[in-house]
Amino acid sequence: MKILIVDDESIIRKGMETVIKEWNDFQVIGIADDGETALSWLHEAVELPDLLITDIFMQYMDGMELIKRVNNLYPQIKCAILSGHEDFQLARRAIELKVCQYITKPVESEALLAILEKIKAEVMCEKSCNNYLLKKEQNLTKDFSVNSEDVVEKVIQYIYENYKNSSLSLQELAEVVSVHPNYLTQLFTKRKSIPCMQFLTQIRMDKAKELLRQSDIKISEVAKIVGYENPLYFSSYFKKWVGMNPSKYREAL
C-alpha cells in the first residue's frame, strides 16, 4: 500500500517514514509539510497513493481542508488523520469527511502497523471491486464502439467551460461522459499525454497568465476567476507551475 505523509513537524514525517519502511507491505511514496504542498505533489504525481495520512493544524492549508479537497479531486484515496488533539468537534468533522482513521499522537509502532493493516485490507477489497467494474466497463465501451477521441474532446470542452469552478473534480468529469474516473484518466492520458486533472491545472495557469498580462486585476481576483478560492494557495501553486509568483510574473512583463 502506497502512502503520502503530510505533517508540519519534520521529526514526525521522518519518524513515520522510517518506521513504515521497515514493513514490506507499505511504501511511503511522498511527504509534505502542509496541505498546499501535498496537493501540488498529488497534481504532479505519476502514481497516486492509496492512503493520505495528515496532521490537522498546519500552515497555509490545514488537514481538514486538504482532506476535503482530496475527497473531491481524488476520491479513490483514503484519508487518515494523525493528530495530538483529542477534540470532539475535530472528531465529528473527521467523520463528516469520511476519514478512515483518527490516529492520536504519539502512536506506538505496533498500533500503527495494526491500523495500516486494517486500511490495507479495505484498500485491497475496494481495488478488487473497482478493477472488476473497470474491466466490465471497458468491455461494454468496446461493445458499443465508444469513440475515445469523442470522450476526450467532450471532457476538454467541459473543462474550458467550467475551469472557473473551484470544486471541479475528476468524478464530475467522468460523469459528464458516463465512464469510470480511472478509465477516463486512462483514455485522456493516452490521447493527450497528460492526466485530465493536470490538464485542468494547465488551463487555469494559462488563463491566469493571460489575465496578469492583459489587465491590472488584483491577484486575489485572478485567483477566484481561474478557480482558486484561496489566493495564497493560488500564488504558491502558480510559482511551482510557472517558476515565479504572480507578482513577479506581472513585473517581468
Could you give all domains of the chain from N- to C-terminal order, each with its CATH number? 2-126 (3.40.50.2300), 146-253 (1.10.10.60)
Q: Which pLDDT value is given to residue 130? A: 64
Q: Which pLDDT value is given to residue 144? A: 44
The model's pLDDT over 195-229, given as tens digits with 9 standing for 90+, comes to: 888 899 999 999 999 999 988 899 999 999 999 88
In this structure, how many other beta carbons lie within 10 angstroms of the beta carbon of residue 243?
A: 9
Q: Which pLDDT value is given to residue 212? A: 94
In the three-class reduction of DSSP (H, G, I as helix; E, B as strand; rest coil), residue 89 is classed as helix
Low-confidence stretches of the chain (pLDDT < 70) are: 88, 128-146
Query: Is this structure's pTM higher than 0.85?
Result: no
| Torsion over CA: 191, 194, 198, 204 (sign) | negative
The model's pLDDT over 18-30, given as tens digits with 9 standing for 90+, comes to: 899 889 899 999 9
- Alpha-carbon dihedral angle through residues 192, 194, 195, 196, given to the nearest 10 degrees: -60
Q: Which pLDDT value is given to residue 143? A: 42
